[in-house]
Amino acid sequence: MWMDPLTELPGPDDFELTLAREELRRSRTDERIAVVVLDLDGFKAVNERAGAAAGTDLLVDCAAALRQSLRAVDQFARTGPDEFSALLVATDARRAGAWADRFETVLEERSRARPGGPASCAIGISDTAECPTLIDALARARRRMELVQRVRRLRREP
């Protein structure tokens, strides 16, 4: 398993392997699994305004918030420059939404003292009740996260 050196989390290839493994397990158990995709807000701006070290601190804060808020059975990884993904085992989208609210609070608290102020993120959630496979649930969660980002951009535009 390759670990991202900054966050010490699995990378995107490992997350894809986890998806495949969980899909096989789920096909035997029919267990519901929620898929979460989150993207840090303003990551590029933090790097530009406060420097790469501040951006690194933001990534580390996010990874620590994930570790603090997820259960031992849940799987998570850094899947992009400022994107993280998680599988919440035996969890539906409603309960994953409650987790997302708690996660955002933990992330905000952990990052409050860093340059640029408290961090926030766009989150998309789906589950296997909505989608036939975890790959489909991941794609739907990513689309929902991107929709949140678009809405936020439109709200900022005059």
Catalytic positions are 82
Q: Which helix (H) or strand (E) holds 15?
A: helix 12-29
What tokens were used for 10? 């699995």
Give the span between the Cα atoms of 33 and 88, in whole angstroms: 6
* Identity at 90, one-letter amino acid code: A
Whether the CA torsion 102, 115, 57, 86 is positive or negative: it is positive
Helices (H) and strands (E) in the chain, counts: 5, 4
Q: In what order do the strands lie in the sheet with 33-40?
A: 75-80, 83-89, 33-40, 121-127
